[in-house]
Chains A and B, each alone.
Chain A
Amino acid sequence: MVQEPHRLKETPSQTAGPYVHIGLTPNFCDIHGVYDTDLGTAMVNDKTLGERITLRGRIFDGADTVLRDSMVEIWQADSAGFHNSPSELRGTADANFTGWGRCPTSGEDGFFHFDTIKPGKVPYKDGRWMAPHITLWIVARGINIGLHTRAYFSDEAEANAVDPLLLRIEHRARVETMIAQRDGNTYSIDIHLQGPKETVFLDI
């Protein structure tokens, strides 16, 4: 017999189900009076540093139908490239920026929408720089384990071209699935859960 490393098993994921909004954004689905506001609705305030942007998009299933019952969370660095987290040891993040947002994709058109700032670049493990990006996490009925992906920015072509993650995408045509397209101050990205335009999802 050898010694065992004694590691616990991660709690298995289960789908967020059709009523994820009851738990995570109750005011959004008309459950008022329990929490003053839904968490993650305000990422910035008047003093937040950086370029104000909107990230918006929709999520499509394999039949190209828009999901109206899902929920998206984002996590990102501040304008200087620092995360608002105790694990960020390289510097202190902007105290006026949460870095985290949560938005249901429901209602008529199925769009999610975040008012945020454009993040700075952050280092990869080997010292190279990653292009500015926003991490997305998507849950919904029918999704058994939350899906991670990233949104990069269409006007950062130079940085994107040497981004260590984007460089690892074998089928180069799929890089486009992670690039949010700029129009004014709005970046748009559509998430495709499957099919020819399937988004690159991450096992992180």
Chain B
Amino acid sequence: MSFQSNQRPETGAFFARDRGWHAPALTPEYKTSILRSPQRPLLSLDGTISEITGPVFGHSMIGELDNDLIQNYARPGESAIGERIIVHGRVLDESARPVRGALLEFWQANAGGRYRHKKETYLAAIDPNFGGCGRTITDDDGHYAFRTVKPGPYPWPNGVNDWRPAHIHFSVFGHGFAQRLITQMYFEGDPMIWKCPIVQTIPDRAAIEQLIAPLDWGQTIPMDARAFKFDIVLRGRRSTLFENRLEGN
């Protein structure tokens, strides 16, 4: 019953991915990529129904504390240790339209830079009240928000003295499987961003800056938590107005 274009089912193929904006597969300064990077050209395929479609996740699957990493692993009456922050923003597509119903999953180290993982060997302490994962789904305007503690930086085995700047890992589902994206968010003003070989896999400085969340003073909750704003852009779709008609279906 709606005339709004954003109510139409989305059936257009996605804009071609700008591979030059992303990191190439082979980035020798990030050593693990050397043996894990395909060497042959990718086979280009204008999206078919298998890539234009994607799974849908309903708000009903989200638990009450899923977007609160300070509480979702904490013992009753306790909470995670660290600088309390809100991370919020919008998920848009390349045409600047909000992506509603996008599932965001995030994971991070604790305030000391330590992950809760059996393979993790960094000597920083485990926080018994911090699991390190959360998730949420965007609203009709593409907005999301979650609460956590600011993760600490941590050293990692690559060069002799490589450190990851403070970061939060994000996994994003849009509406088509071709939009599937995993990325990392960094914090405004962190000088370590520019020393990190994983950050530096991205060739364009402007692209790196797209991953840096500014302090959002206006959204700070007084006496409680500072806010950082991180907008995410997924691939946009071509209009289907002048698409060739599908035959045989």
Contacts and interface: CB of A to CB of B under 8 A. Distances in A.
A84 B181 CA distance: 20
A11 B115 contact: no
Contacts of B51: 135, 148, 204
A133 interface: yes
Contacts of A144: 22-25, 27, 30, 33, 37, 201
Instruction: Provide the main secondary structure of the chain A interface.
Output: loop
A10 B107 CA distance: 21
A204 B35 contact: no
A24, A85, A86, A198 — which one has the most chain B CB atoms within 10 A of its CB?
A85
Given A16-B169, A23-B133, A29-B118, A85 B53 contact: yes
Contacts, number: 282
Interface residues of B, number: 97
Contact of B9 (A86, A99, A126, A137): A86
B233 A122 contact: no
A116 interface: no
A66 to B, nearest CB: 12
B11 A89 contact: yes
Interface string A69-87: 1000101110000011111
Interface string B35-59: 1111110111111111111111100
A177 B124 CA distance: 43
Interface of A: 6-24, 26, 29-31, 33-36, 39, 61-63, 65, 67, 69, 73, 75-77, 83-90, 98-100, 122-130, 133, 135, 137, 139-148, 150, 165, 168-169, 193-194, 198-204
A165 B46 CA distance: 10
